[in-house]
Amino acid sequence: MIKIDIRKALYGSFGEMQLSVDLHIKKGEFLALMGESGSGKTTFLRILAGLESATGEIEVENIHWLQNEKSLPPQERKIGFVFQDYALFENMTVEQNLLYVNHDTTLAMQLLKMTELTALAKQNVQVLSGGQKQRVSLCRAMMRKPELLLMDEPLSALDPVMRAKLQQEIKQLHDTFGTTTIIVSHDPSEVYALADRVLVLEQGRIVKDNLVEEVLRGKTEGLHYETEVLQLSEISDTTIATVLVSGELLEVEVDEAVKIGDRIEVVLNPAYRGSGS
């Protein structure tokens, strides 16, 4: 169980405001944190990680990370942090980036295998694609065997196909290691694919806190995904496209003018959840 009751004065998109968060998080939960830019989402993550000061209390599995003015240093908190900009050591190989955090070679190889990076273990991270770098960043965060994994819009700079693949890998790592996870995201489709519970911040305060289906219900008539046509087939004079959505191959009916490689919008029924859910 994680207990959080924190406060911090901030300057948001509408001027001065008070970040004030009081909530409990169950061990192993996957939370999504949504809200407008400047609502305090990133600051909240940084306070949990010990990278910014705040007043109040943070208690994780009966250990106080923050109590009044006494704060546990970041290196003593069992935190994994995945940033949007990767934050890797560019002069190191993939393997060295992981082992810098923890000299557990067995764990490093397990994580690289799970994220299909084994063949790149000896490569310098400078030569990797954006998607590969973010997978290394995710593996490095998991090397700390974190009790709390924090992710600040980790997939926003990636193309839709890579986003879907990494969503699947994030969910797999979360489930395999039983980590409590909080992700900041502006993408309802991504939130729906990953999270169990959604918090919505507005001007530093939680205005919604509920199961993902309840928070997202009514925002859209369905879940919208932009995806690439991978394959086409004809069935009874109907053109069927094979597409990748949230890590799964789906078949959808399309116009006969659509070609392989075209990008199309797929709208899923809100009852749909990916295989990782």
pLDDT at 273: 55
133 CB-near residues (< 8 Å, 6+ apart) = 86, 88, 125
pLDDT at 217: 65
pLDDT at 12: 64
CATH 2.40.50 residue ranges for the chain: 223-268
CA dist 222 and 169 (Å) reads 24
pLDDT at 263: 84
- One of 2.40.50, 3.10.450, 2.30.110, 1.10.3470 is the CATH number of 223-268, namely 2.40.50
Going from the first residue of the chain to its last (277 residues), give the mean pLDDT of each consecutive group of 10, the final group possibly shorter.
Answer: 94 80 95 90 94 94 90 92 87 95 94 93 93 92 93 83 84 92 88 90 91 69 69 87 72 88 75 48
Q: What is the pTM of this model?
A: 0.77
CATH 3.40.50.300 residue ranges for the chain: 2-216
- As given in the structure block, the two tokens for residue 206 are 């939680």
CA dist 183 and 33 (Å) reads 6
| Tens-place pLDDT, residues 244-255 | 765 567 888 898
CATH 3.40.50.300 fits 2-216, yes or no: yes
127 CB-near residues (< 8 Å, 6+ apart) = none
> ∠ CA(195), CA(11), CA(46), 5° rounding?
45
CA distances (Å), origin 25, targets 6, 29, 42, 175, 235: 14, 7, 18, 16, 48
CA dist 253 and 267 (Å) reads 11
CA 83 to chain centroid, in Å, comes to 10
pLDDT at 99: 96
What are the strands of the beta sheet with 238-245, ordered from one edge? Answer: 248-254, 238-245, 223-235, 263-268
